[in-house]
Amino acid sequence: MENPQSLHGFPGGLALDPRKAMSTEQPLLRLPLGFEYVLPLLQHEGDPAEPVVAVGERVLRGQVIARAEGYFSLPIHAPTSGTVTAVEPRPIPHPSGLLADCIVIEADGLDEEEQSRPAIENPAAVHPSRLRNRLRECGVAGLGGAAFPTHVKLNPTGERQAEVLIINGAQCEPYISCDDMLLRERADEVIAGVQTMLVALDCPRALVAIEADTPEAMAAVDAAIEASKDERIERVMVPTVYPEGGERQLIQTLLGREVPSGGLPIDVGAICHNVGTALAAWRAIHYGEALTERVVTVTGEGVHQPRNVIARLGTPVADLLSFCGGYTGSAERLIMGGPMMGFALSNDQIPVVKGSTCVLAASDTEVVTEKHAMPCIRCGECAEVCPASLLPQQLYWHARDRDLEEAEAYHLFDCIECGCCDVVCPSHIPLVQYFRAAKTEIWARQQERQKSELARRRYEERQARLAREAEEKKRRLEEKKASLAARKKGDKEVKSEIDAILSRVKARRQQDSGEKGD
């Protein structure tokens, strides 16, 4: 299938060694059931889920164990049947290495499933809101790494309507091949998911973007589209350039439209979803299946048998590595994600979550662990490769000097942290680390300002409430005084009337007595 869709490209980028072949030689395999599963309450963008199970409670696969807190949140479901053994802080996959609240389940080996969500047999015949609600009930999030709640993304706000749904199969980061293998083996379900998403989004067409170096995936998608006979869906081959799979970069390549600074894809009429998300959406709609597993690439020179596996959420990374033959003698560093945008794991007991695309057991030749940073020589190479058309050199100076207002003025938050600038920097300056630190400090300051503003508003509201209460108390007191005064006045008037009546009665009696005496 040739590309009728014209391509436009994006600025910068790098041609990197893909290093994907080692993990795509074997078919997908499902990981055997483990002994313990650790489910963080926050596996998605937005608000964390709230536990609804207690220690000692038995749960079934697909059962809600933590409910969504608000619209911008998702529930968490049990990945298998077993017993809740703890609700406590545990290490989670995050660059900070900090602990976060998790639900721990000891599997019973039965893998019994809860059957509580009936299939929606004909998605095209139901209202889009019903489809979005089902995706929310099933905990479906973006599986490309960001884990944005899918129901929110399929319900864009604002005046602009979605003109095109982009399905992102351009997995451009080296080593990661989970989307490639998913498309090779389950393209029919992915395309069915795309059809469902078009209904939920009320969108007229979809583009399935796949990189040029994945011919097997392209062939599988072409066959699935042809079998679907759906003319709304088109497969598009995109160049193998990093970071082609970035949301903004892919939109620019396919549509020639640049998402504005601080804006969203819907601002240019586009919505992007990952191929794995499309599959999860189809499973949720057609089978009522909650998101409890995902495809994960296990790769690198530090593992004996690199491959892609289907792993239950909450599975410790150690179980994935053990299933793939265990560590080799050259294992030097454990990374969640790829070498460009991933982060180091402190240990292999960290669990797989919704956004876990890859576990990279890297040797010392695959990742650079330590390089002495030298002063910036102002060569400008970082700006040449930046896919967001930023000036990393300027951003670095402002971030280093903690001149955060200037960093924001240079569009710090448009940085996608792809790491291209790090790769080409001849001075080995960890630019992305500076950018992340600056963003974190800005967010922290914003939160402090919000807290201060909230405290100020609460104080002002309290003072206003106390003033209102004092005024109300004063008003009630005055009304009470007036009422008492009126009552006293009324009592006097009544007493006077009674006295007058008694006087008249007395006078009449005296008059009657006088008349009788006569």
Q: What is the pLDDT of residue 5?
A: 67
Instruction: Give dist(CA 96, CA 91) in Å, integer.
Output: 10
386 is in an annotated binding site: yes
Q: Read off the amino acid at residue 480.
A: K
Where do the DSSP E strands lie in 218-285?
A: 233-238, 270-274
- Cβ 367 vs Cβ 344: under 8 Å: no
CATH for the 21-360 domain, from 3.30.2270.10, 3.30.160.160, 3.40.50.11540, 3.30.420.40 = 3.40.50.11540
* Least-confidence region, from 273-277, 290-294, 468-472, 480-484: 480-484
- Identity of residue 465: R
What is the residue whose two structure tokens read 């319900």? 155
The yes-or-no verdict on residue 489 having pLDDT over 80 is: no
Summarize pLDDT for 377-418 with one digit per residue, the tens: 999 999 999 999 999 999 999 999 999 999 999 999 999 999
Confidence band of 451 (pLDDT split at 50, 70, 90) = confident
Confidence check: pLDDT of 295 > 60: yes
Strand partners, 169: 210
121 alpha carbon, distance to own chain's centre? 28
Are 75 and 313 within 8 A, CB to CB?
no
Give the burial string for 300-319 (b: 16+ CB within 10 Å, else e): bbbbebbbbbebbbbbbbbb
Does the annotation place 420 within a ligand binding site? no
Q: How far is Cα of residue 267 from the mean position of the Cα atoms in its chain?
A: 20
Q: Cα–Cα distance between 454 and 375 in angstroms, integer?
A: 42
* Parallel, antiparallel or unpaired: strands 36-40 and 99-107: antiparallel
Binding residue per annotation — 379? Answer: yes
Terminal C-alpha separation, the chain: 138
Q: Please tell me the predicted confidence (pLDDT) of residue 160.
A: 85
**What is the tens place of the pLDDT at every residue in 113-141?**
998 789 998 998 999 999 999 999 999 99
* H/E stretch holding 82: strand 82-91
For the chain, give the percent of residues with pLDDT over 70. 96
Has 415 been labeled as part of a binding site? yes
Specify the pLDDT at position 354: 96
The answer to the question of whether 421 is labelled as a binding residue is yes
Write the single-letter amino acid at 307: R
- 236 pLDDT band (50/70/90 cuts)? very high
Q: Report H helices in 338-430.
A: 381-385, 392-400, 404-409, 420-424
C-alpha to C-alpha distance for 485 and 478, rounded to whole angstroms: 10
CA 83: distance to chain centroid? 27
pLDDT band with cut points at 50, 70 and 90 for residue 501: confident
418 is in an annotated binding site: yes
The pLDDT of residue 518 is 55
* Angstrom distance (rounded) from CA 277 to CA 355: 11
| CB contact at 8 A, 154 and 271 | yes
In this predicted structure, the answer to whether residue 255 has a pLDDT above a threshold of 60 is yes
Q: What is the pLDDT of residue 369?
A: 62
| The pair of three-digit structure tokens given for residue 28, joined into one six-digit string | 């997908």
- pLDDT, averaged across the chain: 92
> Using an 8 Å Cβ cutoff, are 354 and 44 in contact?
yes
3-state secondary structure of 142: coil
Looking at the predicted structure, is the pLDDT value of residue 20 above 90? Answer: yes
Domain boundaries defined on the chain: 21-360, 376-513
Query: CA 285 to CA 189: how far, in whole Å?
Result: 11
Which ranges of 52-177 does DSSP label H, i.e. alpha helix?
A: 128-137, 150-153
- pLDDT above 90 for 479: no
CA–CA dist 215, 165 (Å, integer): 22
pLDDT at res. 370: 65
Distance between CA atoms of residues 409 and 430, nearest Å: 21
Which pair of structure tokens corresponds to residue 102? Answer: 């998790």
User: Do residues 146 and 273 make contact, with C-beta atoms less than 8 angstroms apart?
Assistant: no
Query: pLDDT for 76-91, tens place per residue?
Result: 999 999 999 999 999 9
Q: How confident is the model at residue 436 (pLDDT cuts 50, 70, 90)?
A: very high
Q: Looking at the predicted structure, is the pLDDT value of residue 326 above 80?
A: yes
Do 393 and 410 contact (CB within 8 A), yes or no? no
Whole-Å CA distances, 296 to 135, 195, 204, 444: 21, 24, 32, 32
Read off the pLDDT of residues 187-211 as tens digits, 9 standing for 90 and up: 999 999 999 999 999 999 999 999 9
pLDDT score at 511? 73
At residue 188, the pLDDT reads 98
